[in-house]
């Protein structure tokens, strides 16, 4: 349980979907460096990139079992 700087209890907070960092609301408008991506709040652009990268890897693994060309559709 956390309290904001204005001594009011924080009803809701965001949690970075990638690293799990808690993102509390701040008077300045948010945690510095926080990024909204696909409607979710990430703690930093690094975590957004990581999430996109992981999704791409898993999609590639699921799509092509064993191929000589990494991405023939892109040609
Ligand atoms: Zn994060």
What is the number of domains present in the chain?
1
Extract the tokens encoding 60: 């590639």
Query: Is 61 within a domain?
Result: yes
Q: What pLDDT is recorded for position 24? A: 74
Query: Is 55 within a domain?
Result: yes
Which pLDDT tens digits describe the chain residue by residue (75 residues)? Answer: 455 566 666 667 788 999 998 887 654 455 567 888 999 889 999 999 999 999 999 999 998 766 555 665 665
Cα 10 to averaged position of ligand 1 atoms, centre (Å): 20
- DSSP category for residue 74: G
Model's pTM, two decimal places?
Answer: 0.58
Give the helix, strand, coil percentages of the chain, each rounded to 5: 30, 15, 55
Q: What pLDDT is recorded for position 57? A: 95
Helix, strand counts (H, E) of the chain: 1, 4
How far is residue 1's CA from residue 10's CA, in Å, rounded to a whole number?
8
Q: The domain containing residue 20 runs over which residues?
A: 14-65
Query: Is 33 within a domain?
Result: yes
Q: Which residues surround ligand 1, an ion (CB under 5 A)?
A: 16, 18-19, 21, 43, 47
Q: What pLDDT is recorded for position 27? A: 46
Q: What pLDDT is recorded for position 23? A: 83
């Amino acid at each position: 349980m956390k309290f904001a700087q204005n001594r009011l209890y924080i009803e809701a907070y965001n949690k970075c979907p990638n690293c799990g960092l808690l993102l509390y609301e701040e008077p300045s408008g948010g945690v510095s460096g926080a990024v909204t991506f696909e409607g979710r709040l990430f703690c930093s652009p690094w975590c957004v990139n990581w999430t996109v990268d992981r999704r791409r890897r898993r999609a590639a693994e699921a799509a092509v079992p064993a191929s000589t060309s990494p991405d023939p559709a892109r040609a």
